[in-house]
Amino acid sequence: MDTHSKYFRVYRKDIAYFKFIIESHEGMAVVRTKDPCEAVVELMIAPGWEKDLDEVLEGLRKEMVIDSLPVYP
């Protein structure tokens, strides 16, 4: 399966909750913490789930700060 990645910065205290919510939507995306000190997470998104992911992120943004990052080295 060909996934594509998006990167986000959240508060460190929110990483586990963010991961739990995203990965509870079975097959949508996998969350990987790229930099725990900077609280940068990578979402590896499964094809066809982009719209659903955007809806989940929209809901999560009502609960926490989620900053989109253009790329992460």
In the chain, domain spans? 4-69
pLDDT tens over the chain, length 73 residues: 688 999 999 999 999 999 999 999 999 999 999 999 999 999 999 999 999 999 999 999 999 999 999 877 6
- Between the CA atoms of 16, 20, 22 and 26, what dihedral angle is there, to the nearest 10 degrees? 150
Q: What's 34's DSSP letter?
A: E
State residue 2's pLDDT score: 87
Q: For residue 22, which amino acid is it? A: I
Residues 34/7, Cβ–Cβ less than 8 Å: yes
Q: Under CATH, to which class is 4-69 assigned?
A: alpha beta
State residue 73's pLDDT score: 67
State residue 62's pLDDT score: 97
